[in-house]
Amino acid sequence: MHSSSFKTLLTTCLLLLCIARCDREETTDEYRIVSLSPAMTEILFSIGAGDRIVGVTTFCDFPPQAKKITKVGDFSHPSIERIIALKPDLVIVNLPEQTRTKKDLDRLKIRTFVSSPHSLSEIYAELSALGTTLGLHEAADSLILYMKRNIDSVHTLRRKKVYVEISPRPIVTIGVATFLNDMIREAGGENIFADLDKDYPTVSQEAVIARDPEIIIVLHPQDITGRIGWQSIRAIEERRVHTGLNPDHLMRPGPRLVEGYWALKEIIND
């Protein structure tokens, strides 16, 4: 966007914000939340704050009630104008995907809550912070306890080598700085790319073949078993390629991670 265009947008947004604040002061003191994070939308409903949500993205599709809330755009390109028009007291943003949106909201002095967990412990810390922010710390603590009790550690003498494929072209997997890496380890497995620092690194077919996973989990619809050279991989030889898992249960850092963990635990310990 050209600087002149952004200045025009910023001026318009400031005007809308001023009007929104004045209107709210005269009509209601209700705490209004816009959630740009599908996972945080699920969490808000789980801790009893679903009725405070006035705006979400098109990706916020669970629970079913979320589909009825006003949409402010998609996950990557939410509309600043639509957000302001909803008169929010708090906007929940996901980083790094929504970095630009966060900067725009900061310029407009709209309060934000940042979600960017890279581990299970960071998910729990975010939940606690959100509960404190909304005055719902007891509900947040209960959700944390539920998740911790159900994402329990499997003690094993030998961890099975697990490969997760998120995207086929290019091939994208998970590195060490992801909560899914934590979940695999808790379930008794070992992510074959846990030595990579990047969250979601791109890897070569040769690298997957060389690391010879015992279990493959595919989170996209394409068949990977017919790839040239992959027939020698132990997981394919032993028919331990798992498809059909709900990606939201493994990729969204919210309450349904428990269901994802149970699925992982069954697969790894079968």
Q: What is the structure's pLDDT at 270?
A: 85
Contacts of 66 (CB under 8 A, 6+ apart): 41, 42, 45, 50, 53, 56, 60
What is the set of domains in the chain, with CATH numbers? 3-118 (3.40.50.1980), 160-268 (3.40.50.1980)
Q: Which residues of 72-95 are buried (b: 16+ CB within 10 A; e: fewer)?
A: bbebeebebeebbbbbbbbbbbbe
Which residues of the chain form beta strands (DSSP E)? 33-35, 53-56, 90-94, 112-115, 160-165, 167-168, 171-172, 189-191, 215-218, 241-242
Q: What is the structure's pLDDT at 69?
A: 98
Cα–Cα dist 44/11, whole Å: 32
Please say whether the beta carbons of 163 and 217 come within 8 A.
yes
Q: Compute CA distances 261 → 241, 252, 254, whole Å.
A: 17, 12, 12
pLDDT tens string, the chain, 270 residues long: the values are: 444 444 444 444 444 444 344 343 333 347 899 999 999 999 999 999 999 999 999 999 999 999 999 999 999 999 999 999 999 999 999 999 999 999 999 999 999 999 999 999 999 999 999 999 999 999 999 999 999 999 999 988 899 999 999 999 999 999 999 999 999 999 999 999 999 999 999 999 999 999 999 999 999 999 999 999 999 999 999 999 999 999 999 999 999 999 999 999 999 998
Show the tokens assigned to 148.
């911790």
Q: What is the structure's pLDDT at 144?
A: 98
Q: What is the structure's pLDDT at 155?
A: 87
Show the tokens assigned to 67.
């589909």
Please say whether the beta carbons of 117 and 179 come within 8 A.
yes
Helix and strand element counts for the chain (H, E): 11, 10
Q: What is the structure's pLDDT at 68?
A: 97
Q: How many CA atoms lie within 13 A of 80 on its CB side?
A: 24
DSSP state at residue 172: E
Q: What is the structure's pLDDT at 6?
A: 41
Q: What is the structure's pLDDT at 7?
A: 45
Residue 15: Cβ within 10 Å count: 11
CA 42, 45, 49, 55 dihedral sign is positive
Report CA 206 to chain centroid distance, whole Å: 29
Q: How many CA atoms lie within 13 A of 54 on its CB side?
A: 14
Cα–Cα dist 33/36, whole Å: 10
Q: What is the structure's pLDDT at 156?
A: 85
Q: What is the structure's pLDDT at 22?
A: 39
Residue 98: Cβ within 10 Å count: 25
